[in-house]
Amino acid sequence: MSDVVEKTLTALPSLLSLDSQPGSAKLSTNSKLGSLIRGITELTSKHEEEKLIQRELSSIKEQVSSPNTTMRQMKELMVRTIYCEMLGYEATFSYIHAIKLAQQGNVLEKRVGYLAVSLFLNESHELLLLLVNTVLKDLQSTNLIEVCMALTVVSQMFPKDMIPAILPLVEEKLNHSKEIIRRKAVLALYKFYLIAPNQVQHIHNRFRKALCDKDPGVMSASLHIYLQLIQENPESYKDLTASFVTILKQVVAGKLPMDFNYHSVPAPWLQIQLLRILSLLGKSDQSTSEVMYEILDESLRRAEMNHNITYAILYECVKCIYTIHPKSELLEKAAKVIGNFVLSQRINLKYLGLKALTYVVHQDPRLALQHQMTIIECLDHPDVIIKRETLELLFRITNDQNVTVIVEKMLDFMSINKEDHTTADLVGKVAELAEKYAPDNEWFVETMNTVFSVGGDTLQPDIPNSFLKLLSEGFDDEEENKKLRLFAVNSYISLLQGEPSKLPQRFLQAICWVLGEYSHLREDVEPDLVLRLLVKLLNIKSTSSETKSWILMAMTKLCSGGAPLSVPLEVSETYSSSMDTMLRQRAQELQYLSQNPELQARVLPRGVSQEPMEVDSSLSFLDGFVSEALAAGAAPYKPPHQRQEELSRSKALSLEPYGLSLPISMSSCSIADRQSPTLLSVSSGLSGDRTDHSHKGGSTTLKLDGVRRVWGKEGYLAQRESAEETAPVEAPSPLQPLVQQGDGDASYSQTPTPIPECEQEKQQLASSLFVGLASQSSVCLMGKSEQTSQRFRRKLKDPAASFPSSTQNPLVSPPSSVGHLLLDSSISSDLISSPEQTHLSSVDLTVANGEVELPDRDMKGIKSTLLREDSALAAGSSPHEELDRPKDSCLTSHLPAELSGLPHSEITPLCTSPSLDLSSCHVQKDDSLVLLVFMKSSSDYDIQQIQVQVTCEELEVSCVCDSPVEELKSHGVVVCQYFLTVKSPSVYFVLSGMMSHQIPDNSLQETQFSHRIPLTSFLRPLRLSTEEYGTMWLAFSHDTKQNLPLMMDAEEPLTATLKVLKDKLQLHVVEIIGNEGIVACCLRQDQPCLLHCRVHAGMLAVWLRSPIPELPDCLLYHCQRALQES
């Protein structure tokens, strides 16, 4: 059979030439499908079509289930079913037959079967499990076409938890002699990597082999994987930069077979893939970027043909040039390319030009200035997407001078374009701009009003939250605060006096809150009036019950100070019998507090803006109650997911294979609730580059100054100065004077040359839109990094204290808080104290069992492995390292005395600024990890006011001394210590930091840096007995199973493997019995992880359990690594 295929494959070209028109012969005129299609086209109404199809489907149904139907007929039936499904008619009955066809048919029928399966089912369909065996069989087939089909279907859809079953077979195909198989195997692995990164962790080196494949097709397929890997972790792939550059060089020079040309451009897809990879690698890394300057220049030069595909390549080049470390020549060329795009008459190109401009504009605002007239034209472009992109661009160049015009344009656009997604996005942006740049109170409140009413209920909830937060926290100036609040109150009262029924619910809620809090600021308005307005709101039918409880809450606040009681009493009467518990509670509160002014004044003190209080979220004040209940025989609390799991465990089908039918046993059925940490990082890595981060609406800010710093130093700045001088000559537009004079109307009318009216309008618009841009760039010329003063800048706060929803959402409190308002205040003060008490139930248990004591000698042993781990990590960025090596040794002597005896990691450089070098290392203490940051002055003068801030989402960072280092003598060294504890585990913790210090002319200089610490540094052995282990094992809910390689060459494979794990990861081997072993470790005392290892079919089946959801997956990753390296 396979011989036949081989022969036909080779004999094809000659055979094909006989049949010059392959397509025409295939228009089968008398097939059943043909008659069905023709039948449909003859029909006139939708109803008739429906009837015909239903008839067709029922006849198909009859035939497929009849035992006499041959596979050949089945294939024909399947094609017809696919057609019916495409028309939108369900044919679920045929799914199982499609799978059968793929299973039993010959090659041709199989192909249709696979096609039908891939069209009918999606990745999560349960029938897909039935396909696994077929795929397994076909992967092992000697027939090339069958293997191809299996690989194709695998990469299209495959149940995630079945991947281990076919993984070895797919891996094997990487060595296949036919390049098409190798290529498909690489792509299938890429797909696996996307859906289950943990599973393909171990074949990274195979990818390298694919990259070096002699067939360009296989090589380019492997680039998909590399793009993904590099996106997640650029550091580890820096060494490949040169190879990628070489490949790109060869491609650009046309060294690939002609086959790969597309409209005589050599392998454009490959080129673009490589450009993307290069931009990721070169991002903020000067030495790597330098390697690629030449080839980028070459690519720009070569792509000169007038065809879409060359423009696509140019666009990618430009993006790359602006992403990597800047080089002035290239930037100039790239700017020219963007200019060509923007000015092009072809609308697609214009769009791409705008997109590129948006991407680069915050690095180089002058570029937008050059094209201002085009941008203005695009703002009125009939095509929506162009308008949209222009707004995006304007959003990026907004400053406090042009904010009103830009916001107006955005609101205009929203009133025309009603698409939900767009509105939600733009509304978020407007809110952000308003908050950052509002020129005055009036404008701010009015803009926010529009935002609320236009945004309606598609609004992201954080917009009203941050608005209210801003109102309540205010700015430094108390007088200003009052004015703003007063203005808001005024505006809301007049809104409510109008027609409040049209306002969206979110807006009403915000209004209620503001009126409740601040309406007392307006002295001429009686609380009674506000109350009546609120009652009116209550009586509107469309008001949701959530809004109603906001209203009641506002009333509760209002009726203090001896206001007439009739209104609130009436209202509370009505709602205290409401079916909605929340409403009822609020009504009760209202009733009680309005009759008890003293308590009211204590519970709701007026006009004091205090720091948000501390909340004991662990509910530790209930500990006594819990232990009493436990003592009285109550069952310990189980979190919902655990209950569910137990429930499903008793019911669900076992997905574990019986015995050895599959090469690798599948991972457990708990896959549904398990989160793989690497998948998480995939999705976060998705958002890609810097631009896209600021894309997302909401909390992001436009960091113009951050960019300037990159550009300030030696790269582009000097060049730009010269560009500044020549600019007026280059762009002799009549608005140049206008831009400088701001809104000078008078000077405008004196312009000597008469300009047509519409032109005038445009220019006026331009002057108002682009005002401030020129000055902005001049600011950056002077090298000042201070941002223009923001009006609505928030007070700096402890990030932990500013949980948005905890502080601003008074009414969305969960049921457990029922009645707090009514409690005596002595109790409520109890409620919010005692954060240092211990946690509940299961955690308690582990603390009791998991006393961790680390004898000194153990730490000594660990030292060597730690260093090895880190040097392996650092290998990627070696060029830097080599240079800095000599410095390290001298820094070691600066280790603080109390830490010098402990094992510490290698000292790695963090960042350098002209006058300071920062390096760091971490030291393992028994109970924590200490990060040391060495600041070494390299300047000749003393540096003052150095401040280093280190943050990490997953870690708790506490600094030993928070105050800035006052002074650093020239060439001196200062060390800062930070204690790190794990908040939520992750494979690597990336600390990001910011260092600022004063340079002699008193300006502040800031530098950012990042540092990576593997999870292993936080691991400590957990010493416990087998019995303790047993009880803990049962208590933990999050588990993961995986097969790891076993050290087969050792005499006792299990012992040897566990020893490796013990040495490298500091695990504690509790006991080894026969072919099973139990191991334990912990991050902190209350964050243990237990491992159960079993030798099974030449592999080490590891089962991890922990109370922390992410921990097993993260630890598994390091286990894999550790075993691979040994």
Partner 1 sequence: MRVRVCVCVCVRACVCVCVCVCCQMRFLLLFSRQGKLRLQKWFTAMSDRERKKIIREMTTMVLARQPRSSNFLQWKDLKIIYKRYASLYFCLGVEAQENELLALEIIHRYVELLDKYFGNVCELDIIFNFEKAYFILDEFLMGGEIQETSKQTVNRCIEASDMLQETMEEYMSKPAF
**Which span (118-126, 478-486, 845-853, 1096-1104) binds partner 1, by CB under 8 A?**
118-126
Residues 6+ apart with CB under 8 A from 801: 611, 612
| Minimal distance, residue 116 CB to partner 1, in Å | 9
| Minimal distance, residue 311 CB to partner 1, in Å | 5
What residues does 1040 pair with on adjacent strands? Answer: 1104
**Which span (495-503, 563-571, 799-807, 1037-1045) binds partner 1, by CB under 8 A?**
799-807
* Of residues 1-20, those binding partner 1 (CB under 8 A): 4-5, 8-9, 12-13, 15-16, 20
Of residues 581 and 675, the one with the C-beta less far from partner 1:
675
Q: Which two tokens stand for residue 357?
A: 């401009």
Decide if 73 contacts 63 (C-beta within 8 A).
yes
Q: Which amino acid is at 755?
A: I
Q: Judged by CB under 8 A, does residue 111 bind partner 1?
A: yes
Among 253, 305, 565, 613, binds partner 1 (CB under 8 A): 613
C-alpha span between 359 and 338 (Å, rounded): 11
Of residues 1005 and 1087, the one with the C-beta less far from partner 1:
1087
Decide if 984 contacts 939 (C-beta within 8 A).
no
Size of the site for partner 1 (CB under 8 A): 128
C-alpha span between 312 and 723 (Å, rounded): 28
Among 540, 831, 840, 959, binds partner 1 (CB under 8 A): 831
| Minimal distance, residue 803 CB to partner 1, in Å | 5
Of residues 349 and 1100, the one with the C-beta less far from partner 1:
349
**Which span (490-498, 790-798, 811-819, 899-907) binds partner 1, by CB under 8 A?**
811-819
Q: 33: burial class by Cβ within 10 Å (0-12, 13-18, 19+)?
A: middle
| Minimal distance, residue 553 CB to partner 1, in Å | 9
* Of residues 262-291, those binding partner 1 (CB under 8 A): 262, 267-270, 272
Decide if 1087 contacts 850 (C-beta within 8 A).
no
Q: Which two tokens stand for residue 276?
A: 């993307």
Among 244, 351, 395, 550, binds partner 1 (CB under 8 A): 351
Of residues 565 and 827, the one with the C-beta less far from partner 1:
827
Q: Judged by CB under 8 A, does residue 1004 bind partner 1?
A: no
Among 43, 312, 655, 774, binds partner 1 (CB under 8 A): 312
Q: Tokens 């390290």, residue?
A: 888
Q: Judged by CB under 8 A, does residue 43 bind partner 1?
A: no
x-or-dash string of contact with partner 1, 438-467, rule CB under 8 A: ------------------------------
* Of residues 1062-1091, those binding partner 1 (CB under 8 A): none
Q: Judged by CB under 8 A, does residue 808 bind partner 1?
A: yes
* Of residues 675-704, those binding partner 1 (CB under 8 A): 675, 679-680, 682-683, 686, 688, 692
Q: Judged by CB under 8 A, does residue 822 bind partner 1?
A: no
| Minimal distance, residue 105 CB to partner 1, in Å | 11
Of residues 141 and 736, the one with the C-beta less far from partner 1:
141
**Which span (243-251, 363-371, 604-612, 769-777) binds partner 1, by CB under 8 A?**
604-612
Q: Judged by CB under 8 A, does residue 228 bind partner 1?
A: yes
Q: Long-range contacts: 82-88, Cβ < 8 Å, 24+?
A: 82/115, 82/116, 82/119, 82/120, 83/33, 83/36, 83/37, 84/53, 84/56, 84/57, 84/60, 85/119, 85/120, 87/40, 87/49, 87/53
Among 297, 400, 473, 1063, binds partner 1 (CB under 8 A): 473
Residues 6+ apart with CB under 8 A from 846: 1032, 1035, 1085, 1086, 1088, 1107
What is the DSSP track for 478-489?
Answer: HHHHHHHHHHHH
C-alpha span between 330 and 629 (Å, rounded): 72
* Of residues 382-421, those binding partner 1 (CB under 8 A): 382-386, 388, 421
Q: Judged by CB under 8 A, does residue 180 bind partner 1?
A: yes
Q: Judged by CB under 8 A, does residue 847 bind partner 1?
A: no
| Minimal distance, residue 46 CB to partner 1, in Å | 12
Secondary element (H or E) of residue 666:
none
Using DSSP's 3-state secondary structure scheme, residue 715 falls into coil
| Minimal distance, residue 928 CB to partner 1, in Å | 22
Determine the angle formed by the axes of helices 268-282 and 308-323, rounding to 10 degrees. Answer: 10
Of residues 112 and 375, the one with the C-beta less far from partner 1:
112
Q: Judged by CB under 8 A, does residue 352 bind partner 1?
A: yes
Q: Which amino acid is at 421?
A: H
For residue 991, give the nearest of 1001, 980, 1002, 1000 by alpha carbon: 980
**Which span (31-39, 296-304, 717-725, 900-908) binds partner 1, by CB under 8 A?**
31-39
* Of residues 524-583, those binding partner 1 (CB under 8 A): 557
Decide if 310 contacts 350 (C-beta within 8 A).
no
Among 2, 104, 609, 878, binds partner 1 (CB under 8 A): 609
Sheet hosting strand 943-951, strand order edge to edge: 965-968, 943-951, 988-998, 1004-1014
* Of residues 198-227, those binding partner 1 (CB under 8 A): 217, 220-221, 224
Sheet hosting strand 916-924, strand order edge to edge: 908-912, 916-924, 929-937, 973-982, 955-959
Q: Judged by CB under 8 A, does residue 23 bind partner 1?
A: yes
| Minimal distance, residue 138 CB to partner 1, in Å | 14
What is the DSSP track for 603-616?
Answer: HS-SS---PPPP--
C-alpha span between 805 and 873 (Å, rounded): 39
Q: Judged by CB under 8 A, does residue 640 bind partner 1?
A: no
Among 264, 581, 817, 970, binds partner 1 (CB under 8 A): 817
* Of residues 144-173, those binding partner 1 (CB under 8 A): 145, 148, 152, 155-157
C-alpha span between 1016 and 867 (Å, rounded): 11
| Minimal distance, residue 159 CB to partner 1, in Å | 11
Q: Tokens 């701010």, residue?
A: 444
**Which span (308-316, 327-335, 428-436, 841-849) binds partner 1, by CB under 8 A?**
308-316
- How far, rounded to the nearest angstrom, does the alpha carbon of residue 3 sit from its chain's CA centroid? 50
Q: Which amino acid is at 171?
A: E
**Which span (351-359, 914-922, 1059-1067, 1069-1077) binds partner 1, by CB under 8 A?**
351-359
Of residues 623 and 724, the one with the C-beta less far from partner 1:
623
Of residues 573 and 611, the one with the C-beta less far from partner 1:
611
Decide if 1052 contacts 1095 (C-beta within 8 A).
no
**Which span (279-287, 320-328, 344-352, 1034-1042) binds partner 1, by CB under 8 A?**
344-352
Among 22, 633, 754, 886, binds partner 1 (CB under 8 A): 22
C-alpha span between 1079 and 1091 (Å, rounded): 5
| Minimal distance, residue 1047 CB to partner 1, in Å | 34
C-alpha span between 1106 and 1087 (Å, rounded): 8
Q: Tokens 């790891």, residue?
A: 1044
How many residues are recorded in the chain? 1126
Of residues 308 and 1010, the one with the C-beta less far from partner 1:
308
Decide if 919 contacts 891 (C-beta within 8 A).
yes
Q: Which two tokens stand for residue 893?
A: 């002597």
Among 813, 945, 996, 1126, binds partner 1 (CB under 8 A): 813
C-alpha span between 539 and 560 (Å, rounded): 22
* Of residues 510-529, those binding partner 1 (CB under 8 A): 517
Q: Which two tokens stand for residue 749?
A: 């009318």
Q: Which two tokens stand for residue 1025?
A: 């007995």
| Minimal distance, residue 109 CB to partner 1, in Å | 9
